[in-house]
Amino acid sequence: MSADQIRYSVLGSVRAWRGGEELDLGSPRQRAVLAVLLLSANRVVPQSGITDGVWGEDAPASSVNLVHTYVARLRRVLEPGRARRGAGRVLARSGSGYVLHVGAGSLDLDEFATFAGRARARRRAADLAGAVSEYTAALALSHGPPLAGIPGPLADTERTRLDELRLAVALERAEVTVELGGHEEVAGELSALAAGHPLRERIVALLMTALYRSGRQAEALEVYMRTRALLADELGIDPGPELQQLQQRILAGDTPEAGAGTAAPEAGVMVPRQLPAAAAHFVGRTAQLRQLTALLEGATSDPGGTVVISVINGLAGVGKTALAVHWSHQIADRFPGGQLYVNLRGYDPFGTPMHPGEALRGFLQAFGLAPDRIPPALDDRAALYRSMLAGRRVLVVLDNARDTAQVRPLVPASPGSLVVVTSRNRLASLVVGEGARPLSLDVLSSEHAAALLVRRIGSRAAAEPQPVAELTGLCARLPLALAIVAARAASNPQFPLAAVAAELLEASARLDALDAGEPHANLRAVLSWSTDALDSQASGVLGLLGVAPGPDISLPAAVSLAGQPLAQTRARLRELEDANLITQHVPGRYRMHDLVRLYAAEYAQHTQPQASRDAALRRLTDFYLRTAHTGDRLLAPYRPEPPRAGEPDSGCHPQPLTSIAEAQAWFTSEYPCLVAAQQLAAGRGWHTAVWQLAWALTTFHRRQGRLHDQVATWRAGLAAAARSADPAALALAHTCLGAACATAGHHREALHHLRRALTCADGAGDIAGQALAHSVLTEVWEYQGNDQQALDHATRALHLYQTLGDPLQEARLLGDVGWYHARLGNYGQALAHCRAALPLHRQHDDREAVAATLDSLGYIAHHDGDHEQALDYYHQALTMFRDLRDSYREAEILDCLAQAHAALGQHSAARDAWKHACELHRTQQRPDDAQRIQQQLDALDDSG
């Protein structure tokens, strides 16, 4: 271990040292955060896991900020040389959580497990003295109660687990010491353990053996009598058969063998085999089976490890139980101590979830324990269960668990056993507290979904591949839905599968079709059991998510949709995520399975008034519109002020954007939702929102080269503006659609809309509208190769903006006039106009216009024979367009750069620029431009 490596302790107080110096870890709550990270060392702990571990259900609204604060303080202690905003090496951010990097041998709990594992290996090899030495080294690491003084539910749970680990090691050392003949040496230690755990019959038996073999027969029998009386008073039961047999042997003077009575004998003990039958039509899941087996193999190779727990979580009907049972049958022979199975009924329409005490009763009886010997109290049952499983290798399958509290008492304490849990809930507390390994199950692949149908339906499915493909898509590859469809097909063998598929085609009737007549084979019913487990606020948010437009939703958008504060919305989404009704597929973005969305929309229709749903969708549309306007102003501050949308709806909280990069990223991530929001608004008759969304998307569309998308959104915008009875909006829509059509190559349609725009603007006396229409007409005529017409319209637009006294637009048109003079070969006039425009653009900080004018100056220099000067202008323009994230203009500048390089004989540089331009044109779906560039590349290659 290096001198600067940090050592940590949890087997006592939570402490840390660097070299010989102990570090100040701060307040108990801050040390609780460190404890959560240490107990999952070198694994990512999500923010929610830290919150659950430190506060549980009592987490304050400020818990997220508090965790950030505690982590920042811990970083200052653990990494004093770290830059304030630099990435952490010891305590690092990872996705939506944190990971604490702990070196090998740096955590006392890991050392404890290593020593204990070596001790057990030595014991198996009959090196008893060496085993005692290793056991002693493990126990020497413990200094008082583990996690002493640490608050929170995780610490409470872990204290119990770590105490059990320490107790198991202490007992194993005592057993080996007794085997070595050290009876007197260990008797005092066992007396102390028995005083602390008077109902643990394994401890009592070992103490009786040590006392008897030390010549203290009377004391051994007194321990028995005291234990029998205590069991009768506390639990109303007699000692177990092994303890009774030990007492009879001591009375008879039959000296027990060393270590006798220390564990329940295998002979006469029932070995339960409770696994249900494996699914007859199991398909796929190869990667998941491999992952589960790797987990088991890793545990087997670590003799000092803890109980292995795997939590298989996922959406209702996704096949969690089928996977768990299928895999359990594959590995059952590795667990000679037996296989336990229980359906915990966490999500069951016919009753409440099973109490863990009831499950424990069933497990204890499965091992042959008489009903009158089973303690009534949950804690006592759990203790007896852990004692019975100590030293045995048992597979425990806990199916359909509702929450962690239901599972914890059913987890064995000593190593060697495996627990497989299935749940619709992610059971994050079990992952954090017990080190459970989560496995989130998704729907089947298309190939395996089709294979499942073929297996269930038989030869009919193999003979109708096209309907099978349609059915897998309509069932969204959900195993339960596929099973229901297969059952419907089997019940009507005379119907072709195409008829079954047709029944599912209509989304509104799909849930009706996915009903095989019984609750567990009715997708709507199965999903309703998940909904019933939610609180009313979370189920309300689920319904609204079902009607929200777009393939997914961001947290800020969900805040406006729900009309709730951020902390509340995040908590509701976390609850839905824990229930596997939604998934956070990227940090901060949530989506639903297609069938869950159908169910959620139906649920909203039945549980929320139309007015409430309309208000929520209004807030969400307003969120997208207002945030898009903010983003557009950052991308193009030179554009006219966006159309006024009035005050935000109550509960709408637009997302603050502060930079071009942030705005560009927001448009990119939200784009499918923005398009869907415009379609929603059009369907609802919210006309103003439709054309205003088209306006807010214009700059993003143009810079990304989304030319056909731009046309589509403005066609919707024009239709909405025509219904809005707003002449200015109608003129603007015709102008913008004309500009979109011109850029996309629809020149005739572009001229039609721009002439209509001029007519509307003239009729309304809208000079600004006229100026805008003329400025766009310049582009149309340029695309058609009529530069004189383009110059005429640019000159008219310039005069109109001068009349309006709009210096920013006047400067822009001054540059445009210069550009069209250049196109006509009037380089002197072109240079004068562009040089006059450039300082004005810089004065207004109109970076796009600066870049466009530099492009014009490059064009003038290139065509005037000064190619070196042209390269300088083009490089400046390219840098600015890249800064503006304008890939459309970037592609055009690269073409110009290549031409200048080629003119200078710099063929390699020209080739590189054209290749990059060609790639951008193809990405932007501009095949004609890409073909033109490719022809120039080919010509360059032909010339050598």
**Per-residue 3-state assignment (H helix, E strand, C coil) for 893-922:** HHHHHHHHHHHCCCHHHHHHHHHHHHHHHH
Adjacent-strand bridge partners of 399 = 343
- Close Cβ partners of 791 (under 8 Å, ≥ 6 residues apart): 778, 817, 820, 821, 823, 824
Average pLDDT over residues 884-910: 89
- Strand ranges of the sheet holding 339-343, from the earlier edge strand across to the other edge: 339-343, 395-401, 418-423, 308-314, 437-441
Question: How far apart are the C-alpha atoms of 657 and 637, rounded to whole Å?
Answer: 14
Torsions phi, psi for 122 (to 5 deg): -65, -40
Give the range with max mean pLDDT: 352-366, 460-474, 614-628: 614-628
SS3 content of the chain, % helix, strand, coil (to 5): 65, 5, 30
Question: How far apart are the C-alpha atoms of 303 and 416, rounded to whole Å?
Answer: 8
Question: How far apart are the C-alpha atoms of 576 and 570, rounded to whole Å?
Answer: 10
Does the reported pTM lie above 0.85? no
| Amino acid identity at 177 | T
Is 747 exposed, middle or buried (CB count within 10 Å of its CB: 0-12, 13-18, 19+)?
A: middle
Question: Structure tokens of 109?
Answer: 């709990």
pLDDT band at 259 (very low <50, low <70, confident <90, very high): very low
Query: For 179-190, how does the pLDDT look when each residue is reduced to its tens digit (9 = 90+)?
Result: 888 878 888 888
- Close Cβ partners of 508 (under 8 Å, ≥ 6 residues apart): none
Average pLDDT over residues 320-338: 85
Residue 217 pLDDT:
84
Q: Decide: helix, strand or coil at residue 928.
A: helix
Q: Decide: helix, strand or coil at residue 198.
A: coil
- Contact (CB, 8 A) for 111 and 119: no
Residue 449 pLDDT:
79
- Contact (CB, 8 A) for 824 and 860: no
Residue with tokens 């923010």: 47
Residue 433 pLDDT:
74
Is 411 exposed, middle or buried (CB count within 10 Å of its CB: 0-12, 13-18, 19+)?
A: buried
- Contact (CB, 8 A) for 747 and 779: no
Question: How far apart are the C-alpha atoms of 647 and 668, rounded to whole Å?
Answer: 26
Query: For 96-140, how does the pLDDT look when each residue is reduced to its tens digit (9 = 90+)?
Result: 788 888 888 888 888 888 888 888 888 877 788 888 899 899 888
Query: For 393-412, how does the pLDDT look when each residue is reduced to its tens digit (9 = 90+)?
Result: 889 999 888 888 888 889 88
Question: Structure tokens of 818?
Answer: 């210069």
- Contact (CB, 8 A) for 95 and 587: yes
Does residue 200 register a pLDDT over 70?
yes
Residue 177 pLDDT:
86
**How many residues in the chain?**
944
- 821 versus 471: the higher-pLDDT residue is 821
Residue 351 pLDDT:
56
**Which residues in 882-906 are b (16+ Cβ under 10 Å) and which e?**
eebbbbbbbbbbbbbbbbbbbeeeb
Residue 508 pLDDT:
56
Is 428 exposed, middle or buried (CB count within 10 Å of its CB: 0-12, 13-18, 19+)?
A: buried
Considering only CA atoms, which of 93, 130, 135 is closest in space to residue 112? 135
Does residue 921 register a pLDDT over 90?
no
- Contact (CB, 8 A) for 456 and 488: no
Residue with tokens 């041998």: 105
Question: Structure tokens of 384?
Answer: 């007896």
Q: Decide: helix, strand or coil at residue 145.
A: coil
Residue 274 pLDDT:
86
Which helix (DSSP H) or strand (DSSP E) does residue 327 occupy? Answer: helix 320-331
685: left (phi over 0), alpha (psi -120 to 50) or beta: left
